[in-house]
Amino acid sequence: MVFAIQNMKLLSDDRFLRGIHSYERQLAKLLALLLAIVIGFAVFELVVESGIKIAQFQPDWFDGGLIKLLDRLLLIFIALEVLQNVTAYLRDQVVQIELVLLTAMTAVARKVIVLPPGTESKPQLMAGFGVIVVGLAAAYWLVKRARHDQHSA
């Protein structure tokens, strides 16, 4: 009987939710650390590879090298935005939808910027990207407006 009462205390809603919350925070910290390490290595690799190309005076910027550089650079920015999302979650215990939408917009912009030549002849793909951009921009505007209206009320 005493054992059952103690088990009930261990599984009480408050204690259980605190345990789950603590577990989520530890996982978020681990993911943030892992992402920070990966971003650091990616930046190092980008700097070293670009430095080697520049030092050899064969950067081939106009033969696809610049697009590849922009692709990697934007990918690092997306990873930084995801890291910012995780740290904002750790700080505020809330997923900030504005950050998520901005990250998504950056990802779509990256995809459009690095489209291979000839893609402009695929109207459905281009229309799809247009719809995605307009949808994300509208969602971002609505979230910002709702937040502004909430604070001014």
Average pLDDT estimate for 28-51: 94
Q: Copy the structure tokens of residue 71.
A: 């692709």
Q: What pLDDT is attached to residue 59?
A: 67
Q: What gap in Å lies between CA 89 and CA 142, rounded to an integer?
A: 21
To the nearest 10°, report the CA torsion of 20, 25, 28, 29: -140
124 membership: H or E segment, kind and range: helix 123-152
Q: What gap in Å lies between CA 118 and CA 31, rounded to an integer?
A: 38
Per residue in 46-99, pLDDT tens?
999 888 888 888 767 777 778 888 899 999 999 999 999 999 888 888 788 888
Q: How big is the chain by its Cα radius of gyration, in Å?
A: 23
Point out the least confidently predicted range of 19-33, 41-55, 67-81, 108-122: 108-122
> What residue segments make up the domains of the chain, in order of their start?
2-152
pLDDT band at 27 (very low <50, low <70, confident <90, very high): very high
Point out the least confidently predicted range of 34-38, 111-115, 119-123: 119-123
Q: Which is higher by pLDDT, 26 or 4?
A: 26
Q: What gap in Å lies between CA 64 and CA 114, rounded to an integer?
A: 10
Question: Average pLDDT over the chain, rounded to whole?
Answer: 86
Query: Which sign does the torsion angle of CA 9, 10, 16, 21 carry?
Result: positive
